[in-house]
Structure 1
């Protein structure tokens, strides 16, 4: 195949144009699972650490984070950090930001990342009627009222001076500090508390970029280098333009024409030959993302013993090897557990019994449980280009189980998520899970802990929940085996049917260099340059 010839050539000094999905109407990285909002947040805001391309924690605002018992961490901030508006970054900036993100009065999707900190109110204990308009704040023991707009402080966070604070966990939690590179742990300036609506429209951060103009969900979102950032990961370009695409084919046409500099998701129909066409400017790289089939626990015909048997029948009817080869042209690998192969503790055989292809056993299980009335539907997000896979998956199920299988399209991943949250989508649906930090627990706790706000399947088992806590707080030699044991128990009922491990499939135009994809599947935006 020949290399695509661009019809548009950007000028030297132009910002780098990159793709995204549709963005939310306001900026709040604590209340979204959208990967692009999280990426943008990590460019606008920097916390104690950042992650390098391989997922290693690298100090940013932290000078030191020290512990002798894995329970009390003493944090000392490096000198000189400021927000883009000139305000200094202090220990209060962190403690107030974390307390806001974990506030039980206004539950946010990312609040469970703060669960190990003393005084955290578990999401499972929150009342269903809780809402920002009516729910009173419940200060943790020992907290004090904060100035206007600030949440009661978590009991486990104590400011010692302008550059020092301590984090006390409810129990020892080895490697807790490894999650602190996530964008939700970034500090916030005063305006985030005194004028939260204004902050969500025009974020102020301490990262290598700042917003140009205001946050927008309509059209291009522009970032420019932040002169106040003087740490080790500065912008090496004139800025970034995040251009949202709801049609993957349109993004592909733009990157071929040179109107788009970096595309980090190659359309499914182009996977067979994109590497030959783009050569060294093509990427096919394992990352910390999995694709599974979520079956909501309370959905009609999918609960109880019969529901478990039907889920097992679905799993055993799927030819994962053929789907990875024929639909994804070898840019996916067969899932063998609930985690991606990039993390320590991933197992090649943990789901061997239920993730294999066994058509006879699948038919036998379905015959015993009875087919779901009306057949099977597989919901998917069109902007993630999941249609070809959903159709191939349905063909597998129809052929093996002799049931009607119907792909059900949602135009965007956001629309599908909203339908699931509202209970309008009760059938199986395709869902990607991207790790928050590079550890096995990040594939398990957010999805299967009791009441976790990102537990989309509704999986609820007190024994499993207790086992997850024991695994998370175990000493390092015991952590991985304990998490694997919990995962084996979860897989017995298949609240999420593992399908494939996702690769980053990316291409870039000839007008940029330095494009690298990290372990999370994100381009290293600061390092992209124009020749």
Structure 2
């Protein structure tokens, strides 16, 4: 695509085998009617402390991400229904003639929460900081397409970023990538004020952003953070509520009970599996759900000799009965996954993964051929407090029944401890993770998870998987001149990943949540468990 304002590429688009054993302060209404600007504060849960300080370029997980999206606004926005790119944020336009050089023009009048103006340097300096390997930012991968990026050696500035004037800068990519404008709505592409560079540590505790809400307090580990509406917000979608009490509630069942008890206004993590069929009746019209872009998988530590043979990973995958798990554990509220690219993204194929089909006999044959030592137990990892216990145990029971593998559950770490362990190659067996859309492209599911540029700490390739052919195909897809050509190449890369299986897809999600009678207009964004915070209204 070469027209001046690049559009989105999104297409709108048995139980017996489980052998399962039985396994705060509230919301407030401070005056103001529904929809009245500044009309009261509502409470919202997150499931764990953010993994890192609240800096856009270093926040790539869901819990910190929800807070960051309230505090920062990047270049472009997305339509909450169609996920198409919109220019309701800081960029007036992103123009290109060759999909390699992009000219970014900013809207005038945007400011940070401290009143300082947003200029081209606010973006260029922020992007350079995030991309510099010396700063070890989790979002560095997303700048790897810019000319001059170096993922191995410190580099304070990339040649591909040039300030033209206060409201214009250019981005030179190392190769054509027609979908680059789509990336710029992801929070690591947010601007940073001069206050950040003066004291990054203090900033990470109480960020100064440019989003619809501002931080009134520092983030308190184990508790949360208080936000209020930014009255000078220049975006197309200002906040309707006066503020948000972001509360850390580490156990999903506790959070749900807080909602039912009237002590929480917006429950956003995910309805616990055992309540998936009860919640709609219990909450009535206060229950809400949406097909999500996220998929849940068990990753393999391919750095561990036990899991380096693809036949081992294929055997494990074919020993898992996905429909049985989604029905028995989630009452059909999850969709068995046979692809990495989710149904909400152009390029999804419902039966792409042949080694995800349930076939215990073939699984046993593959495991025998690999010489896998079944006398040693396998550890199955998942983060605590998020409702993963039952389905991971179901996976373990099926591996035990179909492959003769004994297993132990390792679900003792919360998410803020869990991800650093994965980054340090500390996983000793298959580990639960999920991935949801940062921007609407198949590249977002292949590049960060399965290419060398996505290796931690720059990205989220926690299996530490690498395949030169996958790299080549993703690069060719990135440079494709049409969406159709790009999708076909992404699917070829997808096929290799689904054969070698550094991760085994388990299910695609439907995001489910609930809200109290204190609030209305609560909905999920297209990005998994994120709430569209600007739309929430507090009832008088």
Residue 13 (structure 2) aligns with: none
Residue 141 (structure 1) aligns with: none
Contact 2:71 2:213 in 1 (8 A): yes
How far did residue 412 of structure 1 move? 0.9
Aligned residues: 496
Deviates more, 1:220-229 or 1:16-25: 16-25
Residue 53 (structure 2) aligns with: 26
User: What is the 5 A alignment of 1:57-206?
Assistant: 57-59=85-87, 60-121=89-150, 123=151, 126=152, 137-138=154-155, 152-206=156-210
User: Residue 510 in 1 paired to residue 517 in 2?
Assistant: yes
Superimposed CA distance per residue, residues 430-462 of structure 1 (whole angstroms, 9 cap, x where no aligned partner):
111122111111111001111423110111112
Three-state SS of the structure 2 residue aligned to 1:354 is helix
Residue 438 (structure 1) aligns with: 440
Alignment CA distance shift 1:357-1:214 (3 Å): same
Alignment equivalent of 2:505, drawn from 498, 505, 511: 498
> CA–CA distance in 2 between the matches of 1:226 and 1:9?
20
User: Residue 296 in 1 paired to residue 301 in 2?
Assistant: yes
> CA–CA distance in 2 between the matches of 1:335 and 1:9?
37
Residue 39 (structure 1) aligns with: 66
| Unmatched runs of 5 consecutive residues or more in structure 1 | 1-6, 128-136, 139-151
> CA–CA distance in 1 between the matches of 2:404 and 2:41?
53
Deviates more, 1:460-469 or 1:413-422: 413-422
How far did residue 21 of structure 1 move? 2.1
User: Residue 280 in 1 paired to residue 285 in 2?
Assistant: yes
> CA–CA distance in 1 between the matches of 2:91 and 2:444?
23
Alignment equivalent of 2:242, drawn from 233, 238, 243: 238
> CA–CA distance in 2 between the matches of 1:401 and 1:201?
48
TM-score (norm: length of structure 1): 0.90
| Unmatched runs of 5 consecutive residues or more in structure 2 | 1-24, 32-39
User: What is the 5 A alignment of 1:129-528?
Assistant: 137-138=154-155, 152-264=156-268, 265-303=270-308, 307-351=309-353, 353-372=354-373, 373-452=375-454, 453=456, 454-476=460-482, 477-521=484-528, 522-528=530-536
Superimposed CA distance per residue, residues 132-181 of structure 1 (whole angstroms, 9 cap, x where no aligned partner):
xxxxx43xxxxxxxxxxxxx321111111111111111121112101100
> CA–CA distance in 2 between the matches of 1:466 and 1:63?
34
Three-state SS of the structure 2 residue aligned to 1:254 is helix
Residue 17 (structure 2) aligns with: none
Root-mean-square deviation (CA), in Å? Answer: 1.7
Deviates more, 1:272-281 or 1:364-373: 364-373
Contact 1:29 1:37 in 2 (8 A): no
Residue 10 (structure 2) aligns with: none
> CA–CA distance in 1 between the matches of 2:418 and 2:78?
30
Superimposed CA distance per residue, residues 400-442 of structure 1 (whole angstroms, 9 cap, x where no aligned partner):
1122122221331222222222233221111111221111111
Contact 1:302 1:310 in 2 (8 A): yes
> CA–CA distance in 1 between the matches of 2:73 and 2:435?
23
Superimposed CA distance per residue, residues 493-512 of structure 1 (whole angstroms, 9 cap, x where no aligned partner):
11011110011011111221
> CA–CA distance in 2 between the matches of 1:30 and 1:315?
34
Ranked by relative contact order (alpha carbons within 8 Å, sequence separation 6 or more), the top structure is 2
Superimposed CA distance per residue, residues 325-353 of structure 1 (whole angstroms, 9 cap, x where no aligned partner):
110111110101112111010111211x2
Three-state SS of the structure 1 residue aligned to 2:449 is helix
How far did residue 95 of structure 1 move? 0.7
Superimposed CA distance per residue, residues 346-388 of structure 1 (whole angstroms, 9 cap, x where no aligned partner):
111211x211111111122222223434132211111221101
Deviates more, 1:270-279 or 1:19-28: 19-28
Alignment CA distance shift 1:209-1:101 (3 Å): same
> CA–CA distance in 2 between the matches of 1:52 and 1:257?
34
